[in-house]
Structure 1
Amino acid sequence: MKHSFGILRKRDPDADDQDTVLGIGGTGGNGDDDGEEEQRFSSGRGRRGWIIAATALVVVAAVAATILLTRPPAEAGEEKKAPPTETTAVARGNLTEQVRVTGKLEFKNVRDLGSPLAGTVTGVPAPGTVVGRGYELYRVDDTPVILMFGGLPVWREFAEGMTDGEDIRQLEINLQALGFFDGEPDDEFRWATIEAIKEWQDALGLEDTGRIEMGRIVFSPGEVRVQDAVAKVGSPAGGAVLKVSDSTKEAAVDIDPNLAANAPVGAKVDVRLPDGTVATGTVTAVGAPVERENDNGGKTLKLPITIVLDDPTLAAAFDTVSVSVTLVHLIAEDVLLVPVTALLAQPGGESAVERVVNKKTELVTVELGKFADGMVEIVGGDLAEGDIVAVAK
């Protein structure tokens, strides 16, 4: 018995040359076809093949998955009378993909802050207060403890007769920034330093002694944000009084080391906040590769990067939250690109596109390169930048 399968069509006697599709059918027999209903099998005109490429945007390398619906064999140069309704131009540019990773946005460098100034704590700022250079951190015996900028902590009082040191230069730089010191900062405690201190003390309502007792000022690398009070009003001073952090939120993200070239210091990235807002951020630091635990209980090498929002006010409503960060991964530079929806699968594993010329189409066999984000690199074939090709709807 022989079987054949196809689209079973039955002639409609009341219609002119019109086929009615009945379904998928088959014929069987012993070689005698007498009495059987006439059947006609139509191969139909070849349909456009299409390819869907899906790129997984995760911390690992993206994988392109393609599904091909092949069309019957066609010769290169084949023309159709009617041009397609959807077309695009062959482009030349960079092939990129978007890689999304999850990070944590929070205030960094949380630490306790205080001074050895003895007395009773009589005032603390509200949580969320940002304190800058020359401003009051808290009050002891109803007098202010002042923040100044610098990497060296206060380790002695500032007074006439003190030995030279970098902490003196640090103090003079701050007094100059606040408008009280006119000279060139150096490491010597001079008469000009004493006069500047007196003017500063007078502006604060303090006794203008020309000396700064141990603990009256606190040095910090920059402005601080108050998270909470460690010591409450009425508590003894002399130790930690505030819990503070840096004033700017940072997003800490781990990426695969092979993405390092796409996330250098200064690179722009997109940061999606919990409310759906997409904010632009800048990579401010890239650390050394470190091992992180993975889901399988093993270790994976990761590259830690730090990102700061270009507009911090967009995240003002959040404290410590998870965010999604999108990086652009460069795959190939200065290549011919077409959408994957322009591809036609051909017999023998070849691919082709339909080029539109003078309102007609011709089949052009092409050699494919890499896939990313719905685009494919063309590495071979009679195709040039600016050519118009058909794409599937």
Structure 2
Amino acid sequence: MNVVKGTGNQPTAVGEDVTERGADDRGARRRRRGPVILGSGILLVAAVGVVGALGLGGGGAGTDGAGGRGTGGQAVRVARGTLTDRTEIDGRLGHGPEVPFRIKKSGTVTWLPESDKIVRRGETVLRVDDRPVVLLYGTLPMYRGLGTTEAEGAAAGSGAGGGHGGDPGSETAESSDADSRRSNGASGAEVGRGGDAQQPPVPLHGMDVNQFETNLSALGYSGFTVDETYSSLTAAAVKRWQKDLGLPQTGEVDAGDIVYAPGPVRIASTGVRVGADAVGNPLSYTSTSRMVDVDAPASDMNWARRGSEVTVELPDGRSVKGKVTRVGKDASAPGGGGTGSGGGADGGGDGGSGAKAATVSVVIAFDDQSSLGRLESGPVTVRHVVTQHKDVLTVPVAALVALAEGGHGLELAEGGEGGGTGRFVPVKTGLFADGRVEVSGPQVHEGMKVRIPR
């Protein structure tokens, strides 16, 4: 094995043996340490570094045109600039996931809106038996009817004053209670008859009342206090609202008369036709804002944090700024895209190479909807900057060599293509990105020529 040795204090490199020895040269072979040329990529850098450190490989010599030793290769300059490591993933521009409208009004669908229609507070979502089902804003579902209820005085009275007939001995024992009731202004019998002592309506209370009254006030109806009490004043305002809708003025709201959504909605699709039964999910909606849905690999979620800024490349080539607004909490099960190579009795097998990794849903929103132009949907590319180093010296990754003495180095080049000096300078590596690597060291400067080995 022929050996190449660096001069002076320069690092040494191990090359390939290009000289055959005769039979008399079959003695002990000497090994000497030196750098080994790297290919592109961090893993290859690490692998060759191990080889160089162990001194593996044959010795050899190649003489370049400049009188130096090397294997020849392309000469490049050390450049100064910005190095950016980014995540890049495909996504879909649209209006977000579809949400079904849960309709509680029973009857026949007599009108449906068109897809893509925007429905706002107080507007009709659909008509059932020719009566409107109205959209209001809120997060609490319409789980009961709203109105005022009568006090159940009759039932209470019949139990209090009319039930003595079976036990004569109880008359004396309860006489004091009867006197007490009379002193309070009404006997139990009078209440039970429900005549002159009829009780006033009892108003409903609850957060659902507050949510409804907030919407009623926002629609311009007044004369009541927005609180958690459905009072007679609320009922009066409801009658005016019902009159404007062309409904009977009852002052009460049925649970099927209203559907709630967080805000304005875009009708996404209809699951029934006019004339079908209304109960269930006859139509669905989405957000009115455009957003991007991404199925991010569950193994690479460091970038997907709520509030993280991203750049989205649109189908027309423009790039706009977006922000992560929602990250799913559950990963989808990996999907099998390939055909298994075989299966045993238990149905197992190697799943094919087309198997898909588990993903997590990520939603990206835009503060400026106008920046999206007129595009409503389409494939997009989402990019997120993981790390960025500015004003640093960089070279192509392929220019790195792993020194047997340890660490990495660059081979100095003279004469451009095919020229090399056989001299190596040690460097410290930093960020790897876009096929380049950040380098630094006392002997490295902008514009110096180094060689990319062949």
- Aligned-residue offset at 1:304: 3.4
1:113 to 94, 101, 107: 101
Match of 2:381 in 1: 324
Q: Secondary structure at the match of 1:170?
A: helix
Gaps of 5+ in 1: 1-49, 56-61, 75-83, 355-362
CA contact (8 A) 1:172 1:181 kept: no
Higher helix share: 2
Q: Distance in 1 between matches of 2:393 and 2:261?
A: 54
Equivalent positions of 1:306-385 (< 5 A) are 306-312=363-369, 314=372, 317-319=375-377, 321-330=378-387, 337-341=392-396, 350-351=409-410, 365-382=426-443
Partner amino acid for 2:269? D
Q: 1:51 to 1:178 in 2, by over 3 A?
A: farther
Match of 2:114 in 1: 126
- Aligned-residue offset at 1:85: 12
Q: 1:171 to 1:340 in 2, by over 3 A?
A: same
Q: Distance in 2 between matches of 1:171 and 1:64?
A: 66
1:285 to 299, 322, 326: 326
CA contact (8 A) 1:117 1:237 kept: yes
Match of 2:260 in 1: 219
Equivalent residue pairs, number:
313
Identity of aligned residues (%): 30
Q: Secondary structure at the match of 2:238?
A: helix
- Aligned-residue offset at 1:352: 6.3
Q: 1:289 to 1:345 in 2, by over 3 A?
A: same
Match of 2:53 in 1: none
Q: Distance in 2 between matches of 1:244 and 1:115?
A: 13
How does the TM-score come out when normalised to structure 2? 0.55
Q: Distance in 2 between matches of 1:173 and 1:369?
A: 58
1:98 to 68, 75, 86: 86
CA contact (8 A) 1:351 1:366 kept: yes
How does the TM-score come out when normalised to structure 1? 0.62
Partner amino acid for 2:91? G
Higher RCO (CA < 8 A, seq sep 6+): 2
Q: Secondary structure at the match of 1:97?
A: strand
CA contact (8 A) 2:100 2:285 kept: yes
- Aligned-residue offset at 1:259: 4.4
- Aligned-residue offset at 1:130: 1.6
Partner amino acid for 1:139? R
Q: Secondary structure at the match of 1:163?
A: strand
2:283 to 237, 242, 260: 242
Q: Secondary structure at the match of 1:197?
A: helix
Partner amino acid for 2:382? V
- Aligned-residue offset at 1:283: 0.8
CA contact (8 A) 2:78 2:448 kept: yes
Cα deviations by residue, 1:7-38 (Å, 9 ceiling, x for unpaired)? xxxxxxxxxxxxxxxxxxxxxxxxxxxxxxxx
CA contact (8 A) 2:115 2:269 kept: yes
Gaps of 5+ in 2: 1-36, 47-62, 69-74, 150-202, 339-350, 414-423
- Aligned-residue offset at 1:346: 7.7
CA contact (8 A) 1:54 1:373 kept: no
Q: Distance in 2 between matches of 1:237 and 1:295?
A: 39
CA contact (8 A) 1:113 1:242 kept: yes
Q: 1:347 to 1:177 in 2, by over 3 A?
A: closer
- Aligned-residue offset at 1:381: 3.0
CA contact (8 A) 2:425 2:443 kept: yes
Higher strand share: 1
- Aligned-residue offset at 1:262: 2.5
Q: Distance in 2 between matches of 1:344 and 1:335?
A: 21
Cα deviations by residue, 1:91-140 (Å, 9 ceiling, x for unpaired)? 6x7x5322222234444442443533355433221111121222111223
